[in-house]
Amino acid sequence: MPPTNTLDVVATDLAVWLDRTSSEIALAMAPQGVAPFAAPLSEEQKLEYYRDQLFNPDGTPNLHGRTAQMARMGPEMFTQVYKAVIKAYPSLRVPSPPEQASTPPPAPPPVGGPEV
């Protein structure tokens, strides 16, 4: 339906201009599909960043960093990132528990018993 008065024409022109301009600005800020302000990092730099987020310098878990990353990424992506960091830095892997004796401990004596 064509505009019927001057205000309708102005409103239509303004709506078209806003739509076109916002699209042009978005495309200008994200050339070649890169998010605005995204830094071009190598895989090694990404792994170092996440290593520092997930672990303290002494190798202990960084609980604050892990909580923040879990909230930001969600459990599935967090698991992928954690596995990639452990693969790249195997010294951060949780050590296996020590070997247990092969014979189980003796069973405790029965408590109480039938009275004779």
Helix (H, G, I), strand (E, B) or coil at 27: helix
* Number of domains the chain is built from: 1
Residue 81 resides in a domain:
yes
Report, as ranges of residue numbers, the positions in the chain whose pLDDT lies below 50. Answer: none
Q: Is the pTM of this model over 0.95?
A: no
Look at residue 25 in the predicted model and tell me its pLDDT: 85
Residue 112 resides in a domain:
no
Residue 3 resides in a domain:
no
Residue 27 resides in a domain:
no
Residue 63 resides in a domain:
yes
Residue 14 resides in a domain:
no
- Look up the domain containing 73 and give its range: 41-93
3-state secondary structure 69-114: HHHHHCHHHHHHHHHHHHHHCHHHCCCCCCCCCCCCCCCCCCCCCC
Residue 67 resides in a domain:
yes
Residue 1 resides in a domain:
no
Contact 81, 73 (CB under 8 A): yes
